Structures are given as C-alpha cells and as structure tokens.
Amino acid sequence: MPSYLILFRFTQKGVETIKDSPSRVAAIKKEFKEKGAEVKDFFMLMGRYDTAFVATAPDDESMAKLVLSIARRGNVSTETLRAFTEEEFKKIVEGLQD
C-alpha cells in the first residue's frame, strides 16, 4: 500500500480545544482502519507543523478522502506528501533512462 506523510497545523479552533486532541487522534485512527487505511505513527512536532501521521492507504484517492474528512472538521489544516519506501525509490531510480 502507498505510504503518506500527513502534516498538520492546529487552527484557532484546534488550539482552543487542544485537550480533546488525543481523543480526536484515536477516532481518526479508527476511521482510517474502517476505510482500509492505517495510521502507522503519530508525532507531535516542534516547528512549522504541530503534528504528523505516517500512514498507508490503498490509493491516493482513498487518502485524499480521509485527509479532506479530517480537514473539514476545522481543527487542523493539512499537507499530505506521498512517501516512497526505500525499495520503491530503488525501483524508480533503476528505471531511469541514461
């Protein structure tokens, strides 16, 4: 399954209800599982972003729907990056034409 790095920034609403954030993360993990995806890791960050998920999903469309579902709740803004494993990277590079 494709892997993704999902970066989150709290909105004002998210900061105002920050104590609810752990339960929101748990609910999102459950939602991902129900949709055939998985949150592999969660991180709180210091810097430009506040939190991040490393996740997998069956395809880009599935991940886009999940991320939009999170963002529309208004607690965070998101940025999603498709992440390629080392094995996928090797295969891509090996396929380059000289």
The SS3 call for residue 62 is: helix
Predicted TM-score (pTM) of this structure? 0.91
> What average pLDDT values come out for the chain (98 residues) when binned by 10 residues?
97 97 97 98 98 98 97 97 96 90
CB 9 within 8 A of CB 50: yes
pLDDT for 89 equals 96
Count of domains forming the chain: 1
Domain that holds residue 66: 3-94
pLDDT for 98 equals 75
| CATH number (domain holding residue 77) | 3.30.70.920
pLDDT for 60 equals 97
CB-neighbour burial class of residue 63 (10 A; exposed 0-12, middle 13-18, buried 19+):
buried
